[in-house]
Amino acid sequence: MRFFGIDSPLYKFMTTLLNVFLLSFCVVIGSLPIVTVGASVVAGFSVGLRMVANEEGYIVRQFFKAYKDNLKQGIPLGLIALLCAYVIYLDTEIVSKVENVSIFAIMFMMVSAAVFTFTLLYSFALTARYENTLMRILKNSFRISMKFFVRTLALVFLLVLEVLAFLWNYTTIFIGIILGPALMILTVCLFARPIFMKLEGDAASGE
């Protein structure tokens, strides 16, 4: 009976899996009007940061409260992220399809992709945790990426692996649809929360 008890590993695993599914579902639903994708992702990070700290409660209730609270800040952040993603996509198309593409075009694609990634990587988590202007959030995200450069590279590597794993076959694509958004958010949260805690500790001690 203890195998199925509320303290058993199986129960905890199933509860976590359900929470991940609920978070993914909420993020997808909140993103359906494409313009609100930023607010939805910020709300996902608000819940995700609580989950990695073992402070989660009612996932759906917490998500939609954070969703409502972050509409004003999340919408422009999401539009910026979509624009950056589109620019990277166009650069990739040019480099891959234009014959005799110059080295400068390739370098521009790589540099712009790196800058956009480092600027946006922690921005949604920062928006979920702190009140700040949009420009300061983007600047702080870039600064954190530079300050914790090796850790950030490891995070980007893991995110790329997750995307490739989800795209492996039709089964993994289905798993990616129902669990992918939350898993990627939680991956960032696992890296971001210790960084935030360290920065908050340094600020409190005056360093």
Please write the tens of the pLDDT for every residue from 23-73: 999 999 999 888 999 999 999 999 999 999 887 778 999 999 999 999 999
Name every residue whose Cβ is closer than 8 Å to that of residue 112 and which is 6 or more positions away in sequence.
Answer: 87, 88, 91
Contact yes or no for 107/61 (Cβ under 8 A): no
What's the pLDDT tens digit per position in 127-175?
Answer: 999 999 999 999 999 999 999 999 999 999 999 999 999 999 999 999 9
Name every residue whose Cβ is closer than 8 Å to that of residue 197 and which is 6 or more positions away in sequence.
Answer: none
pTM score: 0.90
Residue 26 host element (H or E):
helix 9-30
Overall domain count for the chain: 1
Does the pLDDT value for residue 1 go beyond 50?
Answer: no
- What is the pLDDT, as a whole number, of residue 182? 95
Query: pLDDT averaged over the chain?
Result: 90
Q: Where are the alpha helices (DSSP H) in 31-70?
A: 37-52, 59-69
Contact yes or no for 41/27 (Cβ under 8 A): yes
3-class DSSP state of 206: coil
Residue for token pair 């979920």: 128
Domain carrying residue 146: 2-204
